[in-house]
Structure 1
Amino acid sequence: MVKGLIHSVESMGLVDGPGIRTVFFLQGCALRCRYCHNPDTWEPDSPKAAWYTPEEVLHRLERFRPYYGSTGGATFSGGEPLLQPDFLAETLELCQQAGIHTCLDTAGVGLGHYEAILAHTDLVLLDVKHYTPTGYRQVTGRSMEAFDRFLTAAQAMGKPLWIRHVAVPGLTDGEAHLAGLEGYLNTLRHVKRVELLPYHTLGVHKYAALGIPYPLEGVAPLEAKTLEDWNQRLNQTCCDKE
């Protein structure tokens, strides 16, 4: 019997896809993003995480179905959900069979089997860490090749994308960087929305609790209003490329 290790569940989330959603945060992530606010999800196992079968996930979703309306549903996030491909694919299939909208919130770095996963995914929230190989490695500590493999699969299958990009002062912000991001996003198809997310420090306390040095110590949070013009511009110029 296939099972998945889930770090935590948010019963009625409002920011991880359209409408009201139940969000499952899967345990494990191969990236080490410098601004990550969930370092407690990195390791592939954790005594605080819980094992679920796909049927148990569906049962929990059914409890909240009355709140979803016509736009809500289930979102699978992390950590990185693509690191548990068999569990993810089976769970997504059960959700769709039950008529529950499925959303995958991912950085695109997993263990393959992407066609089976995407076949039952209605929407992909794709976290674009950076748009150049050098910048991507600087942010995540990894090569961009794995991300590109997932993106290629999603593009080939025509999956609608909501793009997310965290703007970090001195790392992934500024006019030149965001103009470069705009150029990159204009090479993609099926982009329905772009979300520039301001860097914050809400997860810094977790590093101290885990005894891990925080990579961006001293970097101040970014105010959301500084990104308003670029958010509007990117949504006007980069979306609905079929």
Structure 2
Amino acid sequence: MAETAALAVTPAGVATRRTVTGMLHSWDLSTGVDGPGTRFVAFLAGCPLRCLYCHNPDTRYLRDGGRTPAEEIVREAAKYTGFIHASGGGATVSGGEPLLQPLFTAELLHRFKHELGLHTALDTSGFLGGRATDALLADTDLVLLDIKSWDRALYRHLTGRELAPTLAFARRLADLGKEVWVRFVLVPHLTDAAENIEGVAAFTASLGNVARVDVLPFHKLGAAKWRALGLDFTLADTPAPTADQTAAARAVFAAHGLQTV
């Protein structure tokens, strides 16, 4: 199993805190890209999407991680709490797709928030949003939600999956009043059609809980990982968007009253 939970029992037979384990790919400290401030980011292994522009294809499978107790990750994060608090940062559970391991993700978010007093963020495609319990979301201060396309056929082409679960999860977050940052990757000749950007922008603006939109220019920094894994990176000849193209996309979101970055 990808994740497990068991109660620890003392020699006297008294149950103590449960031990939750899951498949961790890696962790890192980042600033400005995984939520506000400097953040401890836990990258979980496994993802159900197969995004054409994925820059971490080495997190596709659960086997790409190592079984790790949540306690070990929390202890590691605790080493940096002074620095994180000073920067107005927090902790982010990312991937891969963290909701592929909802029990493990919930445990990390809970302990980051209640044991370390950190602002918490969940970085997700939303495709597995139905696996996020109300308790998990209660321990989540911010959701970083990828909306990769408004065009359903294009979304399926980009990811191999359907768009509907992501939209349903977005509406659930809106109903809960949960703060969301939407992420949209601008890929020339794929996601840059005016009607596609307009569709994402209009939907995002309708939610009422989106604090900002990150329009992320397509890049090929992960191409070497694709080659190393023997995978065909089909966007190898796709150019990065120009500064003007990126600015134009941001202007569409701004026209809907959304803050863009």
> Runs of 5+ in structure 2 lacking a partner?
1-18
222-231 vs 87-96, which moves further: 222-231
Answer yes or no: is 1:88 the counterpart of 2:98: no
Q: What is the CA RMSD across the aligned residues, in angstroms?
A: 1.9
Q: Is the 8 A contact 2:112 2:120 kept in 1?
A: yes
> Percent identity of the aligned residues?
40
Report the equivalent of 2:79.
63
Q: Is the 8 A contact 2:121 2:143 kept in 1?
A: yes
> Runs of 5+ in structure 1 lacking a partner?
none
Answer yes or no: is 1:206 the counterpart of 2:222: no
Given the alignment, which residue of 41, 53, 57 partners 1:39? 57
TM superposition score normalised by structure 2: 0.84
TM superposition score normalised by structure 1: 0.90
96-105 vs 11-20, which moves further: 11-20
Q: Is the 8 A contact 2:156 2:163 kept in 1?
A: yes
Q: CA deviation at 1:130?
A: 1.1
Q: Is the 8 A contact 1:73 1:100 kept in 2?
A: yes
- Judging changes above 3 Å, is the alpha-carbon distance between structure 1 residues 177 and 145 closer, same or farther for their aligned structure 2 residues? closer
Q: Which runs of 4+ in 1 moved over 6 A?
A: none
Answer yes or no: is 1:227 the counterpart of 2:246: yes
- Judging changes above 3 Å, is the alpha-carbon distance between structure 1 residues 104 and 236 closer, same or farther for their aligned structure 2 residues? farther
Report the equivalent of 2:90.
73
Task: List per-residue Cα deviations over 1:172-201 (Å, max 9, x = no partner).
Answer: 014333223222222222010011000001
Task: List per-residue Cα deviations over 1:60-114 (Å, max 9, x = no partner).
Answer: 1111111112620101111000111001111111111131110111101226133
Q: Bigger radius of gyration, 1 or 2?
A: 2
Mapped to 1, the partners of 2:95 and 2:51 lie a distance apart of 13
- Judging changes above 3 Å, is the alpha-carbon distance between structure 1 residues 223 and 114 closer, same or farther for their aligned structure 2 residues? farther
Supply the AA of the counterpart residue of 1:78.
G
Counterpart secondary structure, 1:186 = helix
Mapped to 1, the partners of 2:102 and 2:168 lie a distance apart of 15
Instruction: Give 1 or 2: higher strand fraction.
Output: 2
Mapped to 1, the partners of 2:189 and 2:44 lie a distance apart of 30
The count of corresponding residues between Structure 1 and Structure 2 is 238
Q: Is the 8 A contact 1:197 1:224 kept in 2?
A: no
Mapped to 1, the partners of 2:151 and 2:247 lie a distance apart of 24
Q: CA deviation at 1:236?
A: 5.7
Counterpart secondary structure, 2:53 = coil
Mapped to 1, the partners of 2:227 and 2:68 lie a distance apart of 29
Mapped to 2, the partners of 1:23 and 1:5 lie a distance apart of 14
Q: CA deviation at 1:204?
A: 0.8
